Each structure stands twice: as structure tokens, then as C-alpha cells.
Chains A and B, each alone.
Chain A
Amino acid sequence: MIDVVNLEKHFGGENVLNGINTTIHKGDVVCVIGPSGSGKSTFLRCLNMLEKPTGGKIIFEGDDLMDKRVDLNAHRQKMGMVFQQFNLFPHMTIMENLTVAPLLLKKFDKGRAQEKALELLDRVGLADRANDYPSQLSGGQQQRVAICRALCMEPDVMLFDEPTSALDPEMVGEVLDVMKELAKAGMTMVVVTHEMGFAREVSNRVLFLDGGVIAEEGTPDAIFNHPQCERLQSFLAKVL
């Protein structure tokens, strides 16, 4: 589904990503872990080109996103993204947050879009909040809404950048539960996270990023129970 080939990203003189190679298959739940500043967010944001790579290729469903001729907006519709800071639209109700993109992009008509939105909100237990504004919701609720907003476009893959890091501890669970449901339903997911429990339990593959490269990659069992490289061993010793 997504082929990452020799992905590089430099900010000015700083080399943040130094040649990343990996493939995300349909149905994969890939967790990306690594120390702060290792380039996890940058890697994720390169996948949907919010950050323009300075080298390499991102091949999504057969098209190289670095090619100037591809319609990035059309591809982004197929890649949902969930941000650490939720980034809900504060001037819109929850319903409007969910339907603004499908309506503008003519994916659904209004009736169908609202129906779809309510369906999704119901799945995360927030159907009764459809007419509220984001600031009336708790952080955990906002993040669940943000997940619904991305899902409303019926994406083929969902990208998560530390979706629970900005949350009070008691709200982390409710968001992780929604993500687990999503994984169980077969959604392809790439999740940057510090939640090792989630990575261990839900993912089928873990990437350990360090110094802008994938220092180690494998099943959760291999990564957490039999780490090979020393950097990963010391990283796990710190976070577990």
C-alpha cells in the first residue's frame, strides 16, 4: 500500500531522516517508536507529504507522491491523519467538523455525510455530542472526534502521531480503545506512539527509529522480547 524508498528529509543543515526503507501492507498495524527527536513525526508527516521529503520516494497505491504530476489532495483523501493536538476546527460543531471535508470534496451528499458522521460518532460513544463545539469536550473526547473526522473520508490508511501524548492519563484508555477497535476492523494503521503496551498488543510490526534511520524492525515479540541492537535495548530499558 505504501512503499517508502530511501526517504530523506533535511531541515536546513540538519539531517532528520537519512534513508528510510519500509513497506506498509494493507491491514498492517505498524507502530513507530524511538527516542525524542529521532524523526518519528517527520517520517509520519512525510507519508502524506505534510512535510516534503528532500530525497527518496513515497509510493502510495502505485503513485509516487514526490512526482509533481500526482494529485496530492486526491491521495490525501485516502490517508487519514490524527494529530497529537487534535486540531479540531474550533468554529464548527462536531457534526460540521466531520462533514466539512466530505461535503466540500463531494464525496457524499449532505444527508449521507451526516448519517455517516453519526454512525462514526456512535461507534466512539459521542453521537449525542454532534451539535456541541470542540471546546465543550474533554481532550479524550476531542481526540475520538478527530479520529472520526479522519474516518469520515473513508481512508485506506490512518496515520497517528502520538494521539494520546497530550491527554490526561485517565483519558488515554478511551482513545486507545477506539484505535484497537479500528485495528480489529482491519484498518491499515501507522502509529507513532510512546504507548509500548499498545504497540505490543495491537501492532503486527514495530519500527524502531533512531538517528533518522530504522535501527530495528520486527514483530512486537521480536522487538520487545528479543531486541538485537544496543540502542533499542537501552531505549526499552528506559521506557518499560
Chain B
Amino acid sequence: MSFFEKFYQIFVEKGYYTLMLDGFKSTLIITVGALAIGLVIGTIIAVIKYFGDDSKPMRPLVWLCDLYTTVVRGIPVVVLLLIFFFVIFASSKNGIAIATLTFGINSGAYMAELVRSGLNAVNAGQMEAGRSLGLSKLQTMRKIILPQAIRYILPAIFNELIALLKETSVAGYVAVVDLTRAGTLVRNNTYNAVVPLTLVAVVYLVLVVLLTRLLRLLERRMSTDDRRRKS
């Protein structure tokens, strides 16, 4: 039987395409959810550190943030996932939610550095201009500094998204049926490794290529935007 006949037999005749679709959906949910959580956590940490540098009352907060990033960066994400699933949320069986949270928390530690580099890239005069108008630190941050910072780091955020997408393939460790896990299940049930694994690999590949394309498009649009603004 050729690869394509086998492919047809497994996914269409035996109906495993639904399993793969479910896995695909879970992977997308976990990835996008984790990105959102990571961005929020990363932004909060970056902002705390931005202001914490010259504010004594914020020292404990800064210390907490440092602790968070050190701990999260020091533990492999699979181990983190196992701890969340079997220890912290042992009573919950919502694997997708737990996986999303775990990857989000993990990503937040890296996103924090990213956002911070973006904040530092914004000219110090911007904060002064905002403050001189009577805006508070947080108002200036939200309306003036962050929007500029995000523009600077948009490409890096996309890279993080791509890394995240591939990273979520370990979600199967905690009984989540993501794309990878779905492939494994099909493999176990059909005693065929080549077909499901090829499909899984190709789907990841296509997603990553699409995201990369999108990033290029965005970068091009941003640079023409800038050119328009500068001309």
C-alpha cells in the first residue's frame, strides 16, 4: 500500500481525522492562550522593573519578579508542566487549561526580558514629555511608552510565538491530546508510524512557515509605515 493509500485509509476510512483535528485545535488554543498569558505577565514584570529601578517602595516587588524569572527559567518546561498537573492542580483534570497556564507562565519569564528591552529602547524624553503634561507614570507607560516598545519588539514576539507553538508538543505528558499526542494515539492504534508522524510534522512546519510569512509581511508594513512617516 502506498503512503497516500495508507493516509486515506487511516484518516478518512477509519475516521482518525477527527482526532487529529481535535489535537490541532488543542495545540492552537494552548499556543495562543499561552502567548496572551506570557505577554501579560511579561509586560507586568517589565513595567515593575522599569519603575522599580529608582523607587525604594517597589524593591520587594522587583525582588519577587527576579525570583519568578530565575525559578521559571531554571526549570525545564516539561518538569514545570508535570508539577502543575500532578501537584499544584492535582485535583483538576482540565489538562488544556493547565497546559495553557504553564506555557504562559513559562513564556512570561522570557517575555519579561523582551518587553524590557523594548521599553529601554524608547527615548527617555518620551516619559518626561508625558509626565510634563501631568500624566501619571502608569498613564504615560500605557499610552506613550508601551505602544512604542511593542512596535520595537513585534518581530521578537513572533519568534516567541513560533517557539511556543513547537514547545507545546510536550503537552501530551499530562494527558492533553494536542497535535503531537493525537499523532501518537493514531500510531498506537494503527501500528503505523510513518503516516501520522509525517502529518504531524508537516502541520507544524506549515504553521511555522505561515507565521514566518506573516512576520515578514508585518515587518515590511512597519518599515513602509516608517518611511511614510519619515518622508
Contacts and interface: CB of A to CB of B under 8 A. Distances in A.
A78 B125 CA distance: 19
A90 B225 CA distance: 12
A156 B139 CA distance: 22
Interface stretch (A3-11, A99-107, A184-192): A99-107
Contact of A136 (B134, B136, B144, B230): B230
A240 B131 CA distance: 35
Interface in B116-158: 123, 125-126, 128-136, 139, 143-144, 147-148, 151
Contacts of A83: 125, 128-129, 132
A229 interface: no
Given A83-B125, A104-B139, A76 B148 contact: no
A87 B133 contact: no
B231 A73 contact: no
A79 B131 CA distance: 11
B56 interface: no
B229 interface: yes
A135 B225 CA distance: 11
Contacts of B135: 73, 101, 104-105
Interface in A70-109: 73-81, 83, 85, 87-91, 100-101, 104-105
Nearest to B230: A135
The winner among B139, B151, B231 for most chain A CB atoms within 10 A is B139
Contacts of A104: 135, 139, 143
Given A91-B148, A91-B151, A104-B143, A150 B134 contact: no
Interface in A104-119: 104-105
Contact of B129 (A77, A89, A105, A133): A89
A164 to B, nearest CB: 17
Contacts of A74: 134
Interface residues of A, number: 29
Contacts of A88: 129
Interface string A121-153: 000000000000111100000000000011001
Interface in B33-72: none
A193 interface: no
Contacts of B229: 90, 133-136
B136 A73 contact: yes
B148 A101 contact: no
B139 A50 contact: no
Cβ-closest 10 pairs across A and B: A77-B134, A87-B129, A81-B132, A101-B133, A87-B125, A133-B229, A76-B134, A135-B229, A135-B230, A73-B134
26 contacts: A50-B132, A73-B131, A73-B134, A76-B133, A76-B134, A80-B133, A83-B125, A87-B123, A87-B126, A87-B128, A88-B129, A89-B129, A89-B144, A91-B147, A91-B148, A101-B130, A101-B133, A101-B135, A104-B135, A104-B139, A105-B135, A133-B228, A136-B228, A136-B231, A149-B133, A150-B132
